[in-house]
Amino acid sequence: MLEIRTLHDLRDHVGATLMPSDWVEVTQETIDRFAELTLDDNWYHVDIERAARELPDGKTIAHGLYTLSLVPGLSKQIFRMSAHGRAFNYGYDKVRYPAPVPVGSRLRLHMTVDKVNEERGGLMICRTFKMELEGFEAPALVAVARTLAL
């Protein structure tokens, strides 16, 4: 795990791919809870019997946005700050879901610091997050995140 004082210290790690997070298992319970919270109850997420009949692997698949929602929590396993100042999720330049995430899969997060620039009264930190899907060549998620640190 990378230990830094503030997000500003990520300037020293531009171009670096940091150690990944721990693995996390995607369970049907977490998929169902996410479906309930987001009101997205499409059958391929929650209908186990239909998925067994109609999906290629015979398993339900996690929501892409569920995979994206794991980024903040798993990134805490990649780096830790001792003096967390004000920072805002400014958004994503690009989010892609190259591979579906079947129930029972394991995911882990990788982070690369792309660039850190003075912008909008603070530092704009751009990072690429890749969610590795155990046993698959393609990642489950690739997202370019922008964070404004003041």
Take residue 18 and report the two structure tokens written for it: 């940091």
Domain boundaries, the chain: 2-149
Instruction: Render pLDDT for 32-46 as a digit per residue (tens, 0 to 9).
Output: 999 999 999 999 999
Q: What is the CATH number of domain 2-149?
A: 3.10.129.10
User: What whole-number distance in Å separates Cα of residue 75 and Cα of residue 49?
Assistant: 34
Instruction: Identify the residue with better confidence: 7 or 71.
Output: 71
pLDDT of residue 5: 87
> Sign of the CA dihedral 82, 88, 94, 99?
positive
The pairing of strands 141-149 and 122-133 is: antiparallel
Instruction: Render pLDDT for 115-137 as a digit per residue (tens, 0 to 9).
Output: 999 987 899 999 999 999 999 99
Question: Residue 29 pLDDT > 80, yes or no?
Answer: yes
Instruction: Render pLDDT for 45-81 as a digit per residue (tens, 0 to 9).
Output: 999 999 999 999 999 999 999 999 999 999 999 999 8
Contacts of 7 (CB under 8 A, 6+ apart): 81, 84, 85, 87, 123, 125, 147, 149
Measured from the Cβ of residue 132, the count of other Cβ atoms closer than 10 Å reads 18
Take residue 39 and report the two structure tokens written for it: 């009101």
Q: What is the mean pLDDT of the chain?
A: 95
Question: Residue 28 pLDDT > 90, yes or no?
Answer: yes
Q: Which of 142, 60, 38 is nearest to 99 (CA)?
A: 142
